[in-house]
Amino acid sequence: MGQMHTRMKLATLAALAAGLALLAPITATAQDAPAAVETAAAQVAAPDAAMVESVTDAANATGGSYTPMAPTKGKGMPTSFQDDPMKSLTFQDQYSDNGKYALWMHNDILMPVITAISLLVLGLLLYVVMRFNRTRNPVASKTTHNTMIEVIWTIVPVIILVVIAVPSITLLARQYETPPEDAVTIKATGYQWYWGYTYPDHGEIEVISNMLSPEEALKRGEPGQLAVDNRMVVPAGVPLRIQTTATDVIHAFAVPSLWFKMDAVPGRLNEKLLTINEPGLYYGQCSELCGARHGYMPIAVEALPPAEFAEWVKSQGGTMPGAEEAAPAADQVAALTAR
């Protein structure tokens, strides 16, 4: 349907150009045309000529050139202990603003606070064991309470929790921001056991994504059980409206390096904002137990520069938003010129 629609556009523009060529001599001899119309035509024709050209370019929907991106080792994928022992013990590097904020909160707030509290409690336990054992205290203490200690161990934890709550609530709120009106919409549908991606803003493109065999993944230089035959391709650096649903059971769309996870529930359409900071290939998996092959429905998100994403859309037979709106404007230019 997309190719037929494109050919009809091209045929219409060609017929319009031929008609203008036939009317040109008549237009040239029409000395009684109002000067205001000629001025308006001159003002509109200049910018809209580029618009007509963009319509022609967008009409070549199936001629886009797209080459799948090669993965970058250690980026957007798990890291083995042998390759990098320290990185394998923490979160993956983050490539979204929320991910970077969450990683900062984990590394600079939670880990120091938890480590300090754990060492303090361990030290107190060791002190009590050594100071108040039966050998050193044959007669047990009859102390029932200590007001100062009770005040300290009540107020200090409250202060710690308040300090942690501020960035925690901030991160929670940021993860529920509403996508802007111009966000690119991609709908991810979970099946037993693969993913399907549709692009309602780009001519209803549909991509079915299945896991590659370990041998095929190795040939392509991708990690086993994470590589797929058809990736979810998105533009980098622009807001994305990711929608999730499912056709059978509950799945979950999760990409750790983008700090993104959202359930795909049958009969429900969940929605979340995602902006990928830089181009790259980012791997994830279904993270909701969904049946016998739950572990074999990976996710591969390929983020491309916007211009390359437009080429991918063309290669899939889709159209970029705004291409259809340019055609009526071109018709108005032609009508003014014909006068």
225-262 residue pLDDT tens:
999 999 999 999 999 999 999 999 999 999 999 999 99
pLDDT category at 86 given cuts 50, 70, 90 is: confident
pLDDT of res. 89: 78
> Is residue 214 a contact partner of residue 224, using CB atoms and an 8 Å limit?
yes
**Shared-domain flag, residues 99 and 190:** no
Is the pTM for the entire model greater than 0.85?
no
Q: Is the pLDDT of residue 61 over 80?
A: no
Is residue 179 assigned to a domain?
A: no
Report the distance separating Cα 89 and Cα 327, nearest Å. Answer: 55
Residue 32, pLDDT > 60, answer no
pLDDT at 64: 64
Tell me: do 104 and 213 sit in the same domain. Answer: no
Quote the pLDDT of residue 82: 77
Quick one: pLDDT band at residue 336, thresholds 50, 70, 90? low
User: Is residue 78 domain-resident?
Assistant: no
Q: Do 27 and 127 fall into the same domain?
A: no
Do 55 and 24 sit in the same domain of this protein? yes
Which pair of tokens denotes residue 70?
């090669």
Do residues 166 and 197 share a domain?
no
**Taking the CB of residue 181, how many other CB atoms lie within 10 A of it?**
7
For residues 49 and 95, the model is more confident at: 95
Q: What was the pLDDT predicted at 35? A: 40
Task: Look up tokens 């111009």; give the residue.
Answer: 182
The domain that holds 206 is classified in CATH as 2.60.40.420
Report the pLDDT value the prediction gives residue 213, as an integer from 0 to 100.
94
Residue 86 domain flag: no
Tell me the mean pLDDT in the region 306-332: 78
Instruction: Provide the domain count of the chain.
Output: 3
CA Rg value for the chain: 31
Is the domain of 167 the same as that of 232?
no
Q: Is the pLDDT of residue 56 over 60?
A: no
Phi and psi for 195 in degrees, rounded to 5?
-120, 150
Task: Please check whether residues 13 and 122 belong to one and the same domain.
Answer: no
Give a yes or no: residue 159 inside a domain. Answer: yes
- Averaged over 300-308, what is the pLDDT? 96
Asked whether residue 240 falls in the same domain as residue 165, the answer is no
Residue 310 within any structural domain of the chain: no
Domain that holds residue 12: 2-63+323-338
